[in-house]
Amino acid sequence: MRCAGVREQAVGYARVVRDTDLYAQILGVRDPWTVSEVHLDMPAKRVEVTLEHRAGAALHCPECGATCPGYDAKPRRWRHLDTCQFETMLIADVPRSNCPEHGPLQVTVPWAEAGSRFTALFEALVIDWLHEASLSGVARQVRITWDEADGIQTRAVRRGLARRERRLPTRIGVDETSFQKRHEYVTVVIDQVAGDVVHVADDRKRASLETYLAGHSVEERAAVETVAMDMHQPYIQAVKATIPLAALKICFDKFQWRATWARRWTECGAREPRVARGGRRPPAAKPSTCGSRTRRT
C-alpha cells in the first residue's frame, strides 16, 4: 500500500504535503529526476521510493560529459537512511547514454556514487560510525554485510586520496605495521607536523619507501628536515638514496635505539671475563708448561 498522503492544502497555519513531495525534498531530487511513488511494505518494514527520469531530458556521458542520445535503461536499487526505523530503498530505471567515443554507459545519479548500492547520505552515516567502531560492529548496527561496509570505507578512502594535495612533508615519520594474522606488512609514511598518513605501500622493503620519495621533485626532497624511523636497514638505504644530506636528517626511534643499545651492551658484557665479588677480577691463569723441554733445576 502507499503511504497515507493527501494533496497539498492549507490547514490553519500548517501545510500538509504529499508523500512524493516530502521525499523529493528530503532527497534533494531535482529535474530531470522526480519521485513518482512511495510504497510502504509493513510486513517487511520497508519503504520503497521510486524515482523517474524525465522523458526526453538530455543525457551526458559520465566519462567525457558530452551530450548523447539514449541507449536503454537499467533498473537499480540503493539503500537509503531509515525512515522511522523502516529500511528505505530508492528504486529507479537509470538511463544509459550512447556516447560515440565511450559507448553505452550508465549516467550518474545525484544521490549516489557510480557503482555503489548505497546513497551518499547512507555512506556518510557509515563513515561516521567507522570513526567509533570496527567494520564488524558498524555492519551489525546498520544491517549490512562486512564486505558492504568495507566497500563503503574503500570508496571513502579513494575520494579522500583524490582530494588530497600531493606534497612531500618536511618532517617525515616512517614505520611498518602488520595486519591480518599472516605477518603481512605495509610501510606507512606520516606527516609529523599535520599528524596525517600520507602514503601506505605494500611490504617493508627498500622499494616500498624509495618509490614514494623518488616520486617528488629534487627541491621537495631537499626541503625535508627530518626523517624519523627505526633502524630497519632497507628504510635507511631508501632515505640515503633519495634525500640530500640524509645522514644528518635521519632520527632513529628512541625505543628501538634503547633496545639495540641494551642488546649490544649485553653482548659485550658476555664477552668480558666475569668480575668476582668484591670488585676483583679472577686471577689470570698461569701459562701451561705441558710439553716444555726446559729442564727444571
Task: Give, for all 297 residues of the chain, the pLDDT tens digit.
Answer: 444 443 444 434 344 457 888 899 888 889 999 999 999 999 999 999 999 999 989 999 999 999 999 999 999 999 999 999 999 999 999 999 999 999 999 999 999 999 899 999 999 999 999 999 999 999 999 999 999 999 999 999 889 888 888 889 999 999 988 876 667 899 999 999 998 889 989 999 999 999 999 999 999 999 999 999 988 899 999 999 999 999 999 998 777 777 777 777 777 766 665 554 455 555 555 555 544 444 444
Check whether residue 143 and residue 42 sit in a common domain: yes
- The last residue of a domain, from among 136, 163, 190: 163
Does residue 121 contact residue 152 with C-beta atoms inside 8 Å?
no
In this structure, is residue 229 part of a structural domain?
yes
Check whether residue 108 and residue 218 sit in a common domain: no
Does residue 150 contact residue 127 with C-beta atoms inside 8 Å?
no
Query: Any idea what DSSP says for residue 51?
Result: E
In this structure, is residue 43 part of a structural domain?
yes
Check whether residue 227 and residue 150 sit in a common domain: no
pLDDT digits (tens, 9 = 90+) for 150-180: 999 999 988 988 888 888 999 999 998 887 6
In this structure, is residue 285 part of a structural domain?
no
Check whether residue 157 and residue 16 sit in a common domain: yes
Query: Who's near 69: CB < 8 A, 6+ residues apart?
Result: 59, 97, 98
Query: Any idea what DSSP says for residue 231?
Result: S
Check whether residue 98 and residue 116 sit in a common domain: yes
Q: How far apart are CA 51 and CA 267, in angstroms?
A: 74
Check whether residue 35 and residue 53 sit in a common domain: yes
- The last residue of a domain, from among 110, 134, 163: 163
CATH number, domain with residue 175 = 3.30.420.10
- The last residue of a domain, from among 120, 137, 163: 163
Q: How many domains does the chain have?
A: 2
Check whether residue 112 and residue 153 sit in a common domain: yes
Check whether residue 119 and residue 198 sit in a common domain: no
In this structure, is residue 155 part of a structural domain?
yes
Query: Who's near 30: CB < 8 A, 6+ residues apart?
Result: 110
Check whether residue 76 and residue 50 sit in a common domain: yes
In this structure, is residue 4 part of a structural domain?
no
Choose among 168, 80, 159: nearest CA to 119: 80
Check whether residue 72 and residue 24 sit in a common domain: yes
Query: Any idea what DSSP says for residue 292?
Result: -
User: At residue 76, what is the residue type?
Assistant: R
Does residue 149 contact residue 126 with C-beta atoms inside 8 Å?
yes
Check whether residue 98 and residue 238 sit in a common domain: no
In this structure, is residue 276 part of a structural domain?
no
Query: Who's near 210: CB < 8 A, 6+ residues apart?
Result: 237, 238, 241, 242
Q: Which domain holds residue 119?
A: 9-163
Ranges of H-type helices in the chain: 19-27, 120-130, 135-142, 146-163, 206-214, 218-222, 233-242, 246-249, 254-271
Distance of CA 97 to the CA centre of its chain: 32
In this structure, is residue 295 part of a structural domain?
no
Check whether residue 150 and residue 206 sit in a common domain: no
